[in-house]
Amino acid sequence: MPVFALVDCNNFYASCEKLFNPQLKDKPVVVLSNNDGCVVARSAEVKALGIPMGVPWFKIQQDARRYGIVAFSSNYALYADMSNRVVEILSSFSCNIEVYSIDECFLELSGFARWGFPTYGQVIRQRIADWLGLAVCVGIAPTKTLAKLANHCAKKELAGHNGVCDVTAMTPDQLSSLFEQIAVGEVWGVGRKITARLEAMGIHTVRQLRDANAETLRNRFSVVLERTVRELRGLSCLDLEEVVPDRQQIMSSRSFGTLVHDLADLEEAVASYVSRAAEKLRAQDALAGAIQVYIRTNIFKPEAPQYQQAMTVPLPEASSDTRVLANWALRALRRIYRAGYGYHKAGITLLEIVPRTNQQFSLFVPSQRESSRDDRLMATLDAINGRYGRGALRLAAEGVAKTWQMRRGNLSPRYTTDWDGVATVAAV
């Protein structure tokens, strides 16, 4: 029987900010989304104030002033590095690990039963606290869905001890009474819409969902929900996804820091997004057969004139060459661009992605990839950017000033990924 642990970092982004900045100790800290729009992470102090996740920052200005809430722009370089460190440490506790998100990992632990799972969970917790200064909670269970739920129990102190909750050690009676206290919406994969429909059927708690008729749920909802029910009963239906499947689509899009009116600025932005996406495409050794471009005005300002448009261009021949992809993307952009609007967001999506080895050559167009010179140029581009930092070498079309870039008003230094961002210590 498999045993899964879900290890989840507590208040991850906010904790990373606090880790290097002693002045934030015991202070309420929030981290804001791109362009400093919404609250995407909250420290324990902010949660205690009852400020909800996702609330727009401008709406809580009064609370922010009253309680001295400190807001940071998202410092993804810092969070990604700390996340990689967490994963590296967890990899020494099990060879079977799924990185589920930037702050969550599943581990397969069945081989470690001899130590007792709660003890093992405590060792993991202690190791990450000692080595990285980050707090995690651990949920341990025979299925991934239950491990998620156990983690929730550990975090909310509904069950378990000291941040570790092991449901494999609980009796059926204990489990039933625990699941009675938890709302059905807390179950992994049960979103807001499904919750509302379940509640209409009289299913309010996790216990009720677990004991509901699985076939009925499959007929009324989906096989996915049926699987969730089976997982709640302790029957493992979901395996670890240790290998990230190659992406079928690669998207790159951003909201702009300020509204963009000129085609030239939009062109720079789109070329930059293509460049980023093409780099990812080449990293998985694949080619794209089509590219989609879209632009839109600010839908949150309905009083301003609104326009949005997208265009998909099938390429004559699949490619991973930044220059080829950018060329087609820019042609599409010029077709959909309308002057007189303030654009808030643009994006591109690479579609029809195939492995390079499966390439279908065009019958009508003389192959543009007869020589490997283009491939070598792209490999060199990636190598230079890998060494000197993203965007060190780029298409002229991407521009230099990038006035359209994201607004990140209060960005903390890249403490762990940039020599200029290294924190100072006072020798006084």
Partner 1 sequence: MPDLSFSLAGQAGVFIPLPGAPRLPLPLDEVRVSAGFPSPAADYTDKRLDINEYLVRNPVSTFFFSVEGDSMQGAEIFDGDILVVDKSIRPRHGQIVIAFVDGQRLVKRLYQRAGRVALMAENPAYPPLEIRDGMELLIWGVVTGKFKRLEA
Under the rule (CB under 8 A), what is the footprint of partner 1? 22-23, 25, 85, 88-89, 91-93, 114-115, 119, 122-123, 126-127, 130-133, 162, 415-416, 419, 422-428
**Cβ distance to partner 1 smaller for residue 396 or 428:** 428
Amino acid in position 316:
P
Shortest spacing between CB 416 and partner 1, in angstroms = 6
Q: Round to whole Å and give the CA distance between 291 and 73.
A: 31
Structure token digits, residue 340: 């007189």
Cα separation, 385 vs 379, in Å, equals 10
Please classify residue 313 by burial: count the beta carbons closer than 10 Å to its beta carbon, then call 0-12 exposed, 13-18 middle and 19+ buried: middle
The minimum distance between CB 175 and partner 1, in angstroms, equals: 26
Neighbour-count burial of 96, counting CB atoms closer than 10 A to its CB (0-12 exposed, 13-18 middle, 19+ buried):
middle
In angstroms, rounded to a whole number, what is the distance separating the alpha carbons of residues 329 and 252?
12
Q: At its nearest, how many Å lie between partner 1 and the CB of residue 76? A: 18
Give the end-to-end CA distance of the chain in Å, rounded to a whole number. Answer: 58
Shortest Cβ distance from residue 312 to partner 1 (Å)?
43
Which residues, including other chains, have CB under 8 Å from residue 409's CB and lie 6 or more apart?
A: 36, 73
Q: Would you say 13 or 256 has its CB closer to partner 1? A: 13
| Smallest separation (angstroms) from partner 1 to the CB of 415 | 8
Between 244 and 426, CB nearer to partner 1: 426
Among residues 53 and 95, whose Cβ is nearest to partner 1? 95
Q: Minimal CA–CA distance to 146: which of 189, 116, 93, 113?
A: 189
Token reading at 343: 């654009």
State the minimum distance, in angstroms, from the CB of residue 321 to partner 1: 31
CB nearer to partner 1: pick between 10 and 34: 10
Nearer to partner 1, 22 or 202 (CB): 22
CA distances from 337 to 266, 295, 313, 348 (A): 9, 8, 15, 14
State residue 165 phi and psi, 5-degree precision: -125, 120
Nearer to partner 1, 128 or 288 (CB): 128
Rounded distance, CA 350 to CA 286, Å?
11
Which residue number, 130 or 173, has a Cβ lying nearer to partner 1?
130
Give least dist CB 230 to partner 1, A: 33
